[in-house]
Amino acid sequence: MTDGVLTPEQILGAAEDVLRRYGPAKATVVDVARALGVSHGSVYRHFPSKAALREAVTERWLDQAHASLVAAVEAEGPAVPRLGTWFAVLFAAKRAKALKDPELFATYMVLVHESSGVIERHIQGLVGQIERILRDGIARGEVSVEDPPVTARAVFDAMNRFHDPAYAGEWARPGIEEAFDAVWALIERGITRRRR
C-alpha cells in the first residue's frame, strides 16, 4: 500500500485488527504499520502518539451506534416513544458488541479505562441527544420536566443497566428484555406531561 492513499479510517481499522489479535497490552504502532505495509512514520503522521491512536480507535468504537441513534433523535412523531426507541437502539448496539465479539469487547473495556476523557465526551454526546428529544417533547406538549439537561442525565443514569458495559454479563440472561421494559415504563411515566 502506498502512503499517498493512507486514510485515518484505514489506520483505525488496522489498529482494531491488531488490538483484536495481540490484545491491548502488546499491540504497538509498529504492528499497525506492518499490517498496512507502511512505515510507522506514516501512522504517526496521522496520529502523533500511540496514546492518540488508541484514543481515536476507542472513540470510533464508542461512536459506532451513533448513526442509528441520530435517526431516532431526528425521527418524526411523538417524543416519548422516540426516546424509548433511542434506548432500545442503544441497548441493541451495546449487546451486539458485547455478545458477538466478547474478546474485542474486553479489549475495548481496557482502552476505555485508559482514556476517561473519551468516555466522558461520549456520554455527554449521548445525554445531549436525550436532551434534544426531551426539549422536542416539551415543545410538542408531550413532556414535562423542570430542567432538561439535568433530567436527560437522570434518564441516562436510570437506564444504566441497559447500556453500561459494567452490566454486560447480564445482557444475555433471560428476563433482561422485561427488565428493560419495566425501567423504561417507570421513566416514561416520570417524564410524560400530565393532562389536567
The three-state (H, E, C) secondary structure of the chain, written as one string: CCHHHCCHHHHHHHHHHHHHHHCCCCCCHHHHHHHHCCCHHHHHHHCCCHHHHHHHHHHHHHHHHHHHHHHHHHCCCCHHHHHHHHHHHHHHHHHHHHHHCHHHHHHHHHHHHHCHHHHHHHHHHHHHHHHHHHHHHHHCCCECCCCHHHHHHHHHHHCHHHCCHHHHHHCCCCCHHHHHHHHHHHHHHHHECCCC
- Answer yes or no: are the C-beta atoms of 44 and 15 closer than 8 Å: no
Q: Give the integer Cα–Cα distance in Å for 167 and 158.
A: 13
* Shortest Å distance, C-beta 18 to a copy of itself: 29
* Shortest Å distance, C-beta 178 to a copy of itself: 7
Choice between 17 and 188, CB closer to a copy of itself: 188
* Shortest Å distance, C-beta 189 to a copy of itself: 4
Choice between 35 and 154, CB closer to a copy of itself: 154
Choice between 1 and 166, CB closer to a copy of itself: 166
Binding site for a copy of itself (CB under 8 A): 147, 150-151, 153-155, 157-161, 164, 166-167, 178-179, 182-183, 185-191, 194
Choice between 63 and 188, CB closer to a copy of itself: 188
Choice between 100 and 173, CB closer to a copy of itself: 173
* Shortest Å distance, C-beta 186 to a copy of itself: 4
- For cell 489498529, name the residue: 15
* Shortest Å distance, C-beta 176 to a copy of itself: 11
Q: Residue 154 corresponds to which amino acid?
A: A
Choice between 101 and 164, CB closer to a copy of itself: 164
* Shortest Å distance, C-beta 145 to a copy of itself: 8
- Answer yes or no: are the C-beta atoms of 84 and 137 closer than 8 Å: no
